Amino acid sequence: MKRFFVSLILVAILMMIALAGRQPVAQAEEANREVIVTNVYGYQDADGFFSYYHIVGSVYNGADTAVNNVELDLTAKDAEGKTLLRDYSGNPVESITINPILWTLEPGQASPFAYSFSLDNGQPQTFDVKLINYGTTEARETQVEVQHGQMVTGDDGMLYITGELVNLGETRLDIKGLAGAALDEDNNVVAANTYEAGAGYLAPAGDARGNDRIPFRFRLTGPAPTAETWAVYVDASPAQAEEVLPLELSEPCTYVDAGGSVHVVGSVTNQAEDTIELYLLAGLYAEDGTVLDAEVINLPYALQPGQSVPYSLNSFSSIDSVVGQSDKIARTKVWVTTAMVNNNYEYVSLNTENDQPAQADGVWSFNGEVTNSSDKTLSWATVVVALYDQQGQLLATHDTDIYGETGLIEPQSTTAYTLELNVPLDLDPAKVTVKTLVQGMVN
């Protein structure tokens, strides 16, 4: 079980506008002139080491039916008319088929598209995106609104779009896709990406847990000097309500470390009779409700029945990239966005030994050993170090995975671990209790 984060590279320099190209297939014949590419925009990113070119734009569904599986034909050529596109084997190809970020477009809905490629083979002189094909599908009734949003430019040149996705309807919604875009003064897409942090569903309006409104974050590759505003595009589908598993979240603690990075820590308790794997989502809010950032993690260890474990969310790329944003944090909230019963694997609890903590410049280092005292061979083990104050309040935590010399951790073998933990700025070592836990997955 590993963390998974999703991310794309994108960016902007206006060059041309392309309208619908070849006719769609017969199944979309009635609407074949109303699904169009509304703009195409290309630019080189600001990264001088990994130089990429980004082609972005928008597709609009003006038909009276929902469409899906929209296929676009992308071409890019240098000044001599040679293609700059390559297939997966590195061979030149005249064009590449791409799709909008959203799979399904309702009547009147648009979706951005984005594609990036290396400039190792040359600089684009011309490029184009044309509509090839699409299918039709049934329209869906959903009521989704974006609230408390903002777009900021980070010190790293990236654009960050944050906000809340809110379900105004009485039915649970599965989020099939989520796209964010920076727009110029004419509402043309000049940078776009899928989301970095968010949730896969929205509970019905009025949900007691607050899961009817979920924060999100997009990171769009810059520069986008013509960006004036932003938009978020949602592909949502009504879904059956799911069983809510009995999980208890503590009140989260938010702190800034010596390097200026924001951390959200807390604990989660499994009150079910099954082993549970889960994803957690944290949102950081300003006093007026604006979403400053959001982050999601796959908890790196399975929760056994009755077990309580600490968690930490550390990669708030938007708030960490804009000076002064962390000073605006007034409220933090954490959600369980996905919880899956998984009794297919066996886990063992172990202990650390010979722990040797060291403290320097806001970073605490831990070195020690873990002996597999069980009679099981382990695929790996996760070591967790947590710091608590004198009242038992979690202050900071982090984890690391360890493996045996041959990859597996054999019974009675000892494996070293090392871990660094960025702690709160004002942490008093004399008032801290250190606890460790180790969980190994049986091979």
Find the mean pLDDT for residues 310-315. Answer: 95
- Lowest-confidence segment of 30-39, 194-203, 282-291 by average pLDDT: 30-39
Three-state secondary structure string covering the chain? CCCCCCCCCCCCEEEECCCCCCCCCHHHHHHCCCEEEEEEEEEECCCCCCCEEEEEEEEEECCCCEEEEEEEEEEEECCCCCECCECCCCCECCCEEECCCCCEECCCCEEEEEEEEEHHHCCCCEEEEEEEEEEEECCCCCCEEEEEEEEEECCCCCEEEEEEEEECCCCCEEEEEEEEEEECCCCCEEEEEEEEECCCEECCCCCCCCCCEEEEEEEECCCCCCCCEEEEEEEEEECCCCCCCCEEECCCEEEEECCCCEEEEEEEEECCCCCEEEEEEEEEECCCCCEEEEEEEECCCCECCCCEEEEEECCCHHHHHCCCHHHHCCEEEEEEEEEEECCCCCEEEECEEEEEEEEECCEEEEEEEEECCCCCCEEEEEEEEEEECCCCCEEEEEEEEECECCECECCCCEEEEEEEEECECCCCHHHCEEEEEEEEEEC
Segments forming the whole domain that contains residue 351: 347-442
The confidence score (pLDDT) of residue 8 equals: 29
In this structure, are 391 and 299 located in the same domain?
Answer: no
In this structure, are 398 and 318 located in the same domain?
Answer: no
- Lowest-confidence segment of 43-57, 117-131, 275-289, 355-369 by average pLDDT: 43-57
State percent of the chain over pLDDT 90: 81
Question: Is residue 212 assigned to a domain?
Answer: no
In this structure, are 52 and 86 located in the same domain?
Answer: yes
Domain termination site, one of 312, 341, 370: 341
In this structure, are 259 and 374 located in the same domain?
Answer: no
pTM score:
0.88
**Mean per-residue pLDDT over the chain, rounded:** 89
In this structure, are 233 and 351 located in the same domain?
Answer: no
Domain termination site, one of 322, 341, 360: 341
In this structure, are 97 and 188 located in the same domain?
Answer: yes
In this structure, are 222 and 106 located in the same domain?
Answer: yes
In this structure, are 257 and 405 located in the same domain?
Answer: no
Question: Is residue 151 assigned to a domain?
Answer: no
Question: Is residue 154 assigned to a domain?
Answer: no
The confidence score (pLDDT) of residue 425 equals: 87
* Whole-angstrom distance, CA of residue 227 vs CA of residue 151: 10
Is the pLDDT reported for residue 71 higher than 90?
yes
- Domain total in the chain: 3
Is the pLDDT reported for residue 317 higher than 70?
yes
Q: What CATH number does the domain containing 398 carry?
A: 2.60.40.10
In this structure, are 74 and 187 located in the same domain?
Answer: yes
In this structure, are 333 and 224 located in the same domain?
Answer: no
In this structure, are 4 and 87 located in the same domain?
Answer: yes
Is the pLDDT reported for residue 280 higher than 60?
yes
Question: Is residue 260 assigned to a domain?
Answer: yes
Domain termination site, one of 318, 341, 364: 341
Find the mean pLDDT for residues 301-324. Answer: 93
Q: How confident is the model at residue 137 (pLDDT cuts 50, 70, 90)?
A: very high
The confidence score (pLDDT) of residue 13 equals: 24
In this structure, are 252 and 225 located in the same domain?
Answer: no
Question: Is residue 191 assigned to a domain?
Answer: yes
State pLDDT tens for residues 91-114.
Answer: 999 999 999 999 999 999 999 999
* Whole-angstrom distance, CA of residue 277 vs CA of residue 300: 9
State pLDDT tens for residues 372-422.
Answer: 999 999 999 999 999 999 999 999 999 999 999 889 999 999 999 999 999
Is the pLDDT reported for residue 16 higher than 70?
no
Find the mean pLDDT for residues 267-290. Answer: 96
State pLDDT tens for residues 203-247.
Answer: 999 998 899 999 999 999 988 889 999 999 999 999 988 888 899
- Lowest-confidence segment of 86-95, 263-272, 356-365 by average pLDDT: 356-365
Find the mean pLDDT for residues 257-283. Answer: 95
Find the mean pLDDT for residues 79-86. Answer: 96
